[in-house]
Amino acid sequence: MFKWAPNGNPANTNFVFNAEYFLRKESGDLLNDPAGAANASAYDGKQGGYYAQAIYQFMPRWRTGVRYDALHSNNTVGAPTPGTALATLADNSYDPKRASVMVDFSNSEFSRIRLQYNRDESRPANEKDDQFFVQFIYSLGSHPAHQF
Q: Per-residue pLDDT tens for 110-141? A: 899 999 999 999 887 778 999 999 999 998 87
Answer whether 67's CB lies under 8 Å from 53's CB. Answer: yes
Q: Is the pLDDT of residue 1 over 70?
A: yes
Q: CA angle, 103 as apex, 101 and 107 as ends, to 5°?
A: 155
- Counting residues of the chain whose pLDDT is more than 90, the rounded percentage is 50
- In the sheet that holds 129-138, the strands lie side by side as 2-4, 14-32, 39-59, 62-80, 97-108, 111-121, 129-138
Q: Is the pLDDT of residue 80 over 60?
A: no
- Average pLDDT (35-43) is 70
**What mean pLDDT, rounded, does the chain reach?**
85
The C-alpha torsion from 71 through 2 and 113 to 111, rounded to 10°, is 120
- Average pLDDT (93-116) is 92
Q: Give the pLDDT of residue 50.
A: 97
Q: Is the pLDDT of residue 32 over 80?
A: no
Q: Give the pLDDT of residue 9.
A: 86
Sequence-ordered strand ranges (E) for 33-128: 39-59, 62-80, 97-108, 111-121
- Can you give the pTM of this predicted structure? 0.76
